[in-house]
């Protein structure tokens, strides 16, 4: 029986390249000369920490990171922008989480969307991915196009298509 998996993963090396390129771009900008800000990517916890003086520069850094991600063909929906918090002195700290895996609520939405479509397939939640099974590959391709047409709040990839 043909199957495929719906997952949400982001390539760590490509993300690292995008963030390093954004750092270089920010260092060369005139409005960032003399700033004491830092941008750190923690690969173990999948968080990006930005510490900078004011909101305007924070917004510019976020825009640069999103722009670089788009140029590297990464979906910016993988970033979960948290709230700003004040660090020591007049510095602002913002932690941005990188979403890996499909969370339970998004997986339930995906399964509900597939079941409501009326296609003859079975969708099941397996840890942080959704497996879809069907008798015809055409039905599976219809499920992929159905999921691509909707936004579930995070980037989706379709892998392991098996006959």
Q: 92-98 and 47-52: which strand pairing?
A: antiparallel
pLDDT in tens, 61-79: 999 999 999 999 999 989 9
- What are the sequence ranges of the domains in the chain? 3-8+101-162, 12-98
pLDDT in tens, 36-57: 888 999 999 999 999 998 889 9
| pTM for the full predicted model | 0.83
Tokens at 36, concatenated: 């004491």
Mean pLDDT value across residues 23-44: 89
What local confidence, expressed as pLDDT, does residue 163 receive? 80
**SS3 breakdown of the chain: % helix, strand, coil, rounded to 5?**
40, 30, 30
The 3-state DSSP class for residue 37 equals coil
CATH homologous superfamily for the domain 12-98: YajQ-like, domain 2 (3.30.70.990)
CA angle 146, 73, 126 (to 5 degrees): 45
The 3-state DSSP class for residue 94 equals strand
The 3-state DSSP class for residue 35 equals coil
Query: How many residues comprise the chain?
Result: 163
The 3-state DSSP class for residue 152 equals coil
Which CATH number does 3-8+101-162 carry? 3.30.70.860
Q: Distance between CA atoms of 120 and 133, rounded to whole angstroms?
A: 9
Is 24 a residue whose pLDDT tops 80? yes
Q: Distance between CA atoms of 34 and 3, rounded to whole angstroms?
A: 55
Q: How many Cα neighbours within 13 Å face the side chain of 82?
A: 15
Q: Give the sign of the dihedral formed by CA 126, CA 129, CA 132, CA 137.
A: negative
């Amino acid at each position: 029986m043909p199957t495929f998996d719906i997952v949400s993963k982001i390539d760590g090396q490509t993300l690292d390249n995008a963030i390093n390129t954004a750092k270089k771009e920010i260092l060369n900008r005139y409005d960032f000369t003399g700033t004491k800000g830092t941008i750190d990517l923690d690969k173990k916890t999948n968080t990006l920490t930005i510490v900078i003086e004011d909101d305007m520069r924070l917004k510019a850094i976020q825009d640069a990171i999103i722009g670089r991600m788009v140029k590297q063909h990464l979906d910016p929906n993988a970033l979960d922008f948290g709230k700003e918090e004040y660090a020591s002195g007049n510095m602002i700290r913002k932690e941005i989480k990188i979403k890996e895996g499909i969370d339970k609520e998004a997986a339930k939405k995906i399964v509900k969307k597939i079941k409501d479509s009326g296609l003859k397939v079975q969708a099941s939640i397996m840890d942080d991915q959704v497996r879809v099974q069907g008798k015809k590959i055409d039905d599976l391709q219809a499920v992929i196009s159905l999921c691509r047409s909707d936004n579930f709040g995070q980037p989706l990839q379709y892998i392991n298509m098996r006959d």
